[in-house]
Amino acid sequence: MPTTRKVLLYLFLFLSPLAFCKWTYDYTIFKLILPQIFFLFIAITFFLEKKNVRYHKTLTILLSLYLLINVLSFLINPFHYLSYPYMMKLLTYFSIFLLTVNLPSPLSPPLEGGEGRGGGYTKKIFFFLFASGALLSFWAVSDFYKFGLVNAGFGNKNFFAGYIIFLIPLVLSLAFAPPQQPPHLLSSPLGGEEGKERGKIYNKIILFLLFLLYSFALVLTKSQAAYLATFISILFLFILYSRNRKIALLKTFFILFFLFLISYFSNFYFVDQITGNVRFLVWKGTLKMIKVHPFLGWGPGTLSLHYPNYRLPDYFLQKAVAPITDHAHCEYLEILAESGVFGLFLFISFIFFIFREGFKYHPPHYPLPLREGKRGEGERAIIIGLLSGILAILMDNLLSTNLRQSFTPILLFFALGLVVSYSKGKMRDPSPKAQGDTRKFSSRFSALIFSLLILFLSLAGFNTVRKDVVAGFYLKKSLEARLKKNFPQSIAYYKKTISIDKFNPIAYYKLAFAYGVLKKYDQALSTYEKLYPLSPHYAQIDKNMAVLYYTEGRLSASLSYFRQAEKLNPYDVDVLCSIASIFIIKKEFPKAKFYLKRVLALDAKNSYALRNLKKTGN
């Protein structure tokens, strides 16, 4: 592999997970921008070398159809401003997958086009991947002991957990690999047979120490979904390494059955801890959305926009809930809601064929050979580790939002591409029968494909920089000014944010609030009215507009928006009291009494309701 491409790959593996920037609103966004930049230049190197594109026919068709379904869903939904950024991310993931597939396998023979053997860079791939994981784990430990909470530059303990769970089964798989096989992370300085034996021991020690470090960092996150995903991925890994798959499956069944019994006799306490009552309510609301548009969904990236109309009111009876539901807390339900049945089917089919590809050339049920030196064992350990890490991410996202964050989806599609790339290394027979679904485009068509990938990554990178870095910089400055109670300065920065990203709902919402603090009610209402068509029911916009109309004495308009807020959250005591207040002013006492009694049903000691019930004739 050319040196330039190696350096770009190593930089991607090492720097991307570590990247963060405190001067943007989303300080994790550089975990997305750096991969876009590095893979853009990797695509350029492929294009300049006039490399023929290798691709897996079935996987490429499935992924292309998945993109097509999302494009159709994007075209039929009216809120393109929300779908466009997510479409740019999908194009990024598609490009990274296809470019990774074209990397040489670590144990493959020389490839056409001057790639040479891939084994020379394998050790460094895992060195940089595990080194960044180790630094982040130490960072997580430091965070925990300083602040009592893990962050490690990911913005949230669960986001960090969603990253580290990929590395745990991968490093464990390599530790289980036959000691004579690569990848060795460290070599002994001694020469000869003694040096080789010492190197084997060092390698095992390093890998197991990394496993312990990553596992300890994961424990500190207290992320129950990540715990469950890691447990299942390690069980999966042991099954793949087992000499007798039937016995391994039987043992796994008894372990899972034992866990079920513990949960049953504890009244499913652990299940409730993992899922949480809020998740169940969010899922039920998401299923209501899915029933309305089951085939093509509501449009990629639009769940947060439409969800308030389908959210169960009981959601607001739970502790510590937010007025905004950005995600479904289950990636597969979110895909179903946004891209429909067709989108989810294609995504799951794509994942299925990736696992099938990994099993096809390295059957996991074969017992490991007893003799040393057999080719392919190290490659098999890599594929088993990658498949187990991928499974950990997929299982974690049954209960989390990590595939909607900056780095986890990048890591997933890179790993999926590595599985295909490493699997093809066993195919030394160039005949069509031996090659299976792996194909190679002509030089001209390959140039067109690389040109499209360069275009995709350029557009996606430009969109990310403009919306998340430049606009995000001014949004962060506005929030800093607001914390200092410098609202005029804050307003200036909010306006600058909107001038760059005119569809930014956060900037509109907070700008209106700042106007309200300065008692510029007309400007606050005007700002909310611009936001409402972009994102109806965003956060507490209905309630805020109702309060502003009430302040201006426009009671009919105020009542209309309070009623809308009541529909979304019938348990908001402030809203119910405000509606009662309007009816008291209008001298419609029976209606006022009805709302005051609802307030007392929620808060029996509410002083406003107790005091004003007398005015209604009670």
Residues 128-142 have pLDDT tens digits of: 999 999 999 999 999
Q: What is the pLDDT of residue 427?
A: 43
Domain ranges within the chain, ordered by starting residue: 3-181+207-459, 471-616
> Measured between alpha carbons, how far is residue 124 from residues 9, 120, 184, 300, 370 in Å?
10, 8, 9, 37, 28
Q: How far apart are CA 240 and CA 390, in angstroms?
A: 14
Q: Identify the architecture of domain 471-616 in CATH.
A: Alpha Horseshoe (1.25)
Residue 321 banded pLDDT, cuts 50, 70, 90? confident
Secondary structure, 3-state, 195-261: HHHHHHHHHHHHHHHHHHHHHHHHHHHCCHHHHHHHHHHHHHHHHHHCCCHHHHHHHHHHHHHHHHH
Residue 359 banded pLDDT, cuts 50, 70, 90? confident
pLDDT at 571 > cutoff 90: yes
Quick one: residue 80, left, alpha or beta (phi over 0 = left, psi -120 to 50 = alpha)? alpha
Residue 197 banded pLDDT, cuts 50, 70, 90? low
Instruction: Mark 510-520 as b/e (b = at least 16 C-beta within 10 Å).
Output: bbbbbbbeeeb
What whole-number percentage of the chain has pLDDT above 70? 83
Residues 528-570 have pLDDT tens digits of: 999 999 999 999 999 999 999 999 999 999 999 999 999 999 9
Q: How far apart are CA 539 and CA 510, in angstroms?
A: 11
Neighbours of 253 (CB within 10 A): 10
- Mean pLDDT, the chain, integer: 86
Q: What is the pLDDT of residue 106?
A: 53
The string of DSSP codes covering 150-209 is --TTSSSHHHHHHHHHHHHHHHHHHHHS-TTSSPPS---SS-HHHHHHHHHHHHHHHHHH
Q: How far apart are CA 477 and CA 100, in angstroms?
A: 38
Residues 397-455 have pLDDT tens digits of: 999 999 999 899 999 999 999 999 887 654 444 445 445 567 788 999 999 999 999 99
Place of tokens 């991607």: 12
CB distance 411 to 240 below 8 Å:
no
Q: Give just the sign of the alpha carbon dihedral 547, 553, 555, 561.
A: negative
pLDDT at 162 > cutoff 80: yes
Q: How far apart are CA 190 and CA 7, in angstroms?
A: 28
Residue 240 banded pLDDT, cuts 50, 70, 90? confident
Task: Say how far residue 115 (Cα) sits from the centre of its chain.
Answer: 33
Q: Is the pTM of this model over 0.85?
A: yes
The verdict on whether omega for the bond into residue 104 sits within 30 degrees of 0, i.e. cis, is: no
CB distance 204 to 177 below 8 Å:
no
Burial class (CB in 10 A: 0-12, 13-18, 19+), 337: buried
Average pLDDT for residues 218-236, to the nearest whole number? Answer: 92
pLDDT at 243 > cutoff 80: no
pLDDT at 496 > cutoff 80: yes
Residues 266-305 have pLDDT tens digits of: 544 555 554 456 888 999 999 999 999 999 999 999 999 9
Residues forming beta bridges with residue 54, ordered by sequence position: 440
Residue 118 banded pLDDT, cuts 50, 70, 90? very low
Residue 456 banded pLDDT, cuts 50, 70, 90? very high
Q: What is the pLDDT of residue 318?
A: 84
pLDDT at 33 > cutoff 60: yes
Q: What is the pLDDT of residue 113?
A: 35
Classify residue 116 by its DSSP letter: B
In the chain, helix, strand, coil percent, each to 5?
A: 75, 0, 25
**pLDDT: is 110 or 562 the higher one?**
562
pLDDT at 242 > cutoff 50: yes
Secondary structure, 3-state, 59-111: HHHHHHHHHHHHHHHHHHCCCHHHHHHHHHHHHHHHHHHHHHHCCCCCCCCCE
Average pLDDT for residues 82-98, to the nearest whole number? Answer: 95
Residue 368 banded pLDDT, cuts 50, 70, 90? very low
Residue 189 banded pLDDT, cuts 50, 70, 90? very low
Burial class (CB in 10 A: 0-12, 13-18, 19+), 434: exposed
Nearest to 334 by CA among 316, 347, 350, 352: 347
Q: How far apart are CA 534 and CA 470, in angstroms?
A: 21
